[in-house]
């Protein structure tokens, strides 16, 4: 078929191993420099610059300047959503990296998926919100109920602000390690930010790992109880 979106071009951009490693590194939600992305990809800075130009032209990431420095971030939440979906597809098909680092178990427990919580704790939160009727399926989408909005507001989340924003309030994102859903969208981002504000959790600056304190983990499990 010659009409419609050209998925082959996007697939080719993501499919290169070096570019795939760069995109995965940006799933941390942090803006990274060319040298940092070159290290992630295992290539020279010159080669990394060429790859980044292609990803920029393809609409998968965008550059940002801060003084003399140039950083790169994922272009949109939609790009992160597609990447997490591909990770789930690869994991489900058995295409896993042979070498697992010492942080692998921690990544599976709790990690950042671009700007929201993923891993075992992310799916637990999603399951709890669904079981209590705070989130409900609405066709192929996900909707936040009034009781869900009241729950989120009671937790200190500015629901009026989220509703006024252009981004979807809540959306379902397939978790690659759990192969179940976790919460994305502006609400998912707000929950993770609130966990950090309350000092329940902190992000590891060098990885995507989210580490919960002992008291934070206890409060989290009480708040998102799953029968």
If one compares 38 and 99, the residue with the highest pLDDT of the two is 38
Q: How confident is the model at residue 101 (pLDDT cuts 50, 70, 90)?
A: very low
Question: Which stretch of DSSP H or E encloses residue 8?
Answer: helix 7-15
pLDDT at 89: 76
The model's pLDDT over 28-77, given as tens digits with 9 standing for 90+, comes to 778 899 999 999 899 999 999 999 999 999 999 999 888 788 899 999 88
**Cβ-count burial of 112 within 10 angstroms (0-12 exposed, 13-18 middle, 19+ buried)?**
buried
Residues 190-221 pLDDT 10s: 999 999 999 999 998 778 899 999 999 999 99
Domain ranges of the chain: 7-75, 79-223
Radius of gyration of the chain (CA): 18
Where is pLDDT greater, at 215 or 179? 215
Which residues, at least 6 apart from 116, have a Cβ–Cβ distance to it below 8 Å?
A: 122, 173, 182, 183, 184, 185, 188, 189, 191, 192
In Å, what is the CA distance from 76 to each residue of 27, 44, 82, 95, 184? 11, 26, 10, 26, 13
pTM of the shown model = 0.74
- In this predicted structure, what is the pLDDT of residue 96? 58
Residue 91 in this model has a pLDDT that exceeds 80: no
Average pLDDT, the chain: 88
The three-state secondary structure class of 226 is coil
Contact status, residue 208 vs residue 133, Cβ threshold 8 Å = no
Query: What is the mean pLDDT of the segment spanning 110-128?
Result: 94
Highest mean pLDDT: which range of 42-51, 75-84, 98-107: 42-51
In CATH terms, 7-75 corresponds, of 1.10.760.10, 2.40.110.10, 3.40.50.1970, 1.10.10.10, to 1.10.10.10
The pLDDT assigned to 99 comes to 46
């Amino acid at each position: 078929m010659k009409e419609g979106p050209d998925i082959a071009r996007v697939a080719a951009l993501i499919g290169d191993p070096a570019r795939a490693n760069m995109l995965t590194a940006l799933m941390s939600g942090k803006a990274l420099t060319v040298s940092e992305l070159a290290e992630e990809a295992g290539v020279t800075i010159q080669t990394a610059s060429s790859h980044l130009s292609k990803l920029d032209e393809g609409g998968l990431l965008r550059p940002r300047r801060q003084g003399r420095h140039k950083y790169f971030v994922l272009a949109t939440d939609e790009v992160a959503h597609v990447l997490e979906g591909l990770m789930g597809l690869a994991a489900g098909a058995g295409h896993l990296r042979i070498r697992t680092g010492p942080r692998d178990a921690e990544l599976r427990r709790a990690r950042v998926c671009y700007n929201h919580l993923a891993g075992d704790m992310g799916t637990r939160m999603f399951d709890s919100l669904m079981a209590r009727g705070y989130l409900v399926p609405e066709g192929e989408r996900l909707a936040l109920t009034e009781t869900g909005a009241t729950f989120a507001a009671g937790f200190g989340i500015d629901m009026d602000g989220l509703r006024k924003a252009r981004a979807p309030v809540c959306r379902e994102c397939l978790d690659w390690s759990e192969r179940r859903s976790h919460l994305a969208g502006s609400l998912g981002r707000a929950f993770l930010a609130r966990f950090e504000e309350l000092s329940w959790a902190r992000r590891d600056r060098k990885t995507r790992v989210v580490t919960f304190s002992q008291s934070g983990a206890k409060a989290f499990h009480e708040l998102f109880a799953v029968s």
